[in-house]
Amino acid sequence: MFNCTRKVCCIAVMAAAGAHTAAAAHWVKGYVVGFYEPAFRYGGRADFSRGTEIEPGVDCPHGSTIHFAVPAQVAKSLLLVPWRTKEEVEAIANPPADGLNRDPAGVYFHTWRAASAYRGYNRDIETYINPFAAEDPGQPEVTSRIGEGFNLDGKIKPGDFVSPDGEEGIDNELYRAWGCDAPWRGANSNGTLVLRSNDKMLEGLYTIVIRVSGNKDPMNDDEATLEIGYSPDQIMKDARGNVGSDYSYRILQSEQYTKLKARVKDGVVETEQADIHMPQIAWFYNQLRDAFFREGKIRVIVNSDGTVAGLVGGYRDWRDLYAQNVYAQSGGVQGVREHEDHVALYYALRRHADGMLNTKTGRYDGISCAYRMKLTPAFVVDPDKPMAIPSRESEARGKEGYDATMAAMIKAAETLVPQEVPPASRELAATDGIEIGPGGVPIRGRGRKRAADGKAQGSSAHSDPQ
């Protein structure tokens, strides 16, 4: 009798607690982003090997980009430059790099990166800042119909992607424009810049956290809230080097923070469509800034294997995307090393821009895009007192250089008047590639000297209207 009474009491208490949870209990779930990459869907076979080529696939029938990979490709790009002679192009594409005594710094690399930076309609125009002044060398586009992202415009258009789950109308034109770009393409997120940017995030370059909360059932709550933002706390790793679970992270209500209304249905969190501010992908400090998604959305899904996946999408300003990819180092350095051509990427962005209509120009300034995230459970808390995103004094100059270079590029794109390379810009690392020294190496510092001279004289040498 006694036992029975106690059981009844327990059941009664549990029922009361359960009813309370389902009805009105405040609940909070936190996550730290442990992996963050563009939602580019690889269409090749992961087990395929043909030498060291990346396999063509349903996404990219001609494989990944091979810009600056071989002399023939370099020659093809440089022959588009009106002031280059065939002989000059041939010499640059095939620098004398044989034998045991060549310059140890890498003849091809220095020659090609220098030449790649000056492809304008006249020889003084730096074309990573003024890409409009160069001919489009061509960027292979994704041809697959399957793509990840959101239906941002609410329409189902003929060219839209279909999600892997069968949802139609997916807007992800960034994937179409850049999905074949070598450093971002690879099986199992194996693209060089995908791995690199995530490695830097795990090293402590930046941290993103998400906090979802509500007052109903965590599995079904139509009045939930999702916050996303920068955390000043570095990602904690476990003994195997993986992102550790259940550590505490502060979330800063900074310029990289957004609070959104969300709906939770059967455990899937989906936010309202609104502007989203959150950190953008970075692999250098100077890239750290707001990834501003216009009319964006976030989805968080707990997978059947217990892992948690996130997807954020929206329209991003193509100029932010271009600068993010080019100016961390310099266009030539990254282009030659990663087999991408930023002039081609520029034209691809402009071709596929599909949002943020600029009424002045009549053109779109934004491009639809989506980014995948892998989330690890964490305790996301507010800081004791409001604080700004910490800055690194030692890298302030690099950031200034990035900002100045980006500002010059935006001005160039708006006015179509070629802009000079700003003094702190990393684009000064490349010479104009005209003078080829012994061993095929361009004479270093020429570009830097010229820019400095021009500034000292107060000249604005590059004002040729298009």
Partner 1 sequence: MKFNRRSLLRGSCQGALAVMGLPFLDCFLNSKGQAQATGRPLPTRFNTFFWGCGLTAQLWIPKTAGTGYEMTVQLKPLEPYRKKLNVFSGLRVPLDSKPNGQHWSGLAAAITGIAPFRAAEFESKTIDQQVAEVISKGVRFRSVAAASSGNSRQSYSSLGGSNLLPAEPTPLSLYTRLFGPGFQDPTKGDWKPDPRIMMQKSVLSAVADDRQRLMRNLGASDRARMDQYFSSVRQTELQMEAELQRPSIAAKVSIPEAPSKDLVANSAWPNLQVVTPLMARLGAIALATDQTRVFNLSVSEPQNQMFVPGDPLGFHQSTHEEPVDPKLGYQPRVAQYNLESMELFAAFLKELDTIPEGDGTLLDHSVVMAFTDQAYARIHSVDGLPILVAGGASGRLKTGNHVAGDNSTVSRVGLTLQKALGVAVDSWGQDSLQVRTPYTELLA
Q: Where along the sequence are the contacts to partner 1 (CB under 8 A)? A: 44-49, 51-55, 64, 69, 97-102, 104-109, 182, 186-187, 190, 192, 195-196, 199-200, 202-205, 234, 239, 241, 285, 336-339, 390, 392, 394-395
Residue 105 Cβ vs partner 1, minimum distance, rounded to whole Å: 6
Give the residue among 459, 435, 303 at the shortest CA–CA distance from 374. Answer: 303
Residue 21 Cβ vs partner 1, minimum distance, rounded to whole Å: 38
By beta-carbon proximity to partner 1, the closer residue of 202 and 311 is 202
Contact 442, 103 (CB under 8 A): no
By beta-carbon proximity to partner 1, the closer residue of 9 and 396 is 396
Residue 170 Cβ vs partner 1, minimum distance, rounded to whole Å: 27
Residue 49 Cβ vs partner 1, minimum distance, rounded to whole Å: 3
Give the residue among 163, 188, 145, 217 at the shortest CA–CA distance from 35. Answer: 188
CA dist list (Å): 77 to 88, 328, 330: 13, 23, 18
By beta-carbon proximity to partner 1, the closer residue of 139 and 334 is 334
Residue 234 Cβ vs partner 1, minimum distance, rounded to whole Å: 7
CA distance 129 to 454: 17
Residue 283 Cβ vs partner 1, minimum distance, rounded to whole Å: 8
Give the residue among 340, 308, 345, 322 at the shortest CA–CA distance from 191. Answer: 340
By beta-carbon proximity to partner 1, the closer residue of 159 and 204 is 204
Residue 196 Cβ vs partner 1, minimum distance, rounded to whole Å: 4
Count of alpha carbons within 13 angstroms of residue 235, beta-carbon side: 28
Residue 104 Cβ vs partner 1, minimum distance, rounded to whole Å: 4
Give the residue among 128, 63, 53 at the shortest CA–CA distance from 336. Answer: 128
Cβ count within 10 A of residue 209: 28
CA distance 281 to 278: 10
By beta-carbon proximity to partner 1, the closer residue of 265 and 392 is 392
By beta-carbon proximity to partner 1, the closer residue of 169 and 232 is 232
- Burial class of residue 385 (count of CB atoms within 10 Å of its CB; 0-12, 13-18, 19+): exposed
Cβ count within 10 A of residue 411: 15
Q: What angle do CA 154, 155, 156 make, to 5 degrees?
A: 135
By beta-carbon proximity to partner 1, the closer residue of 93 and 409 is 93
By beta-carbon proximity to partner 1, the closer residue of 27 and 109 is 109
Cβ count within 10 A of residue 149: 28
SS3 350: helix
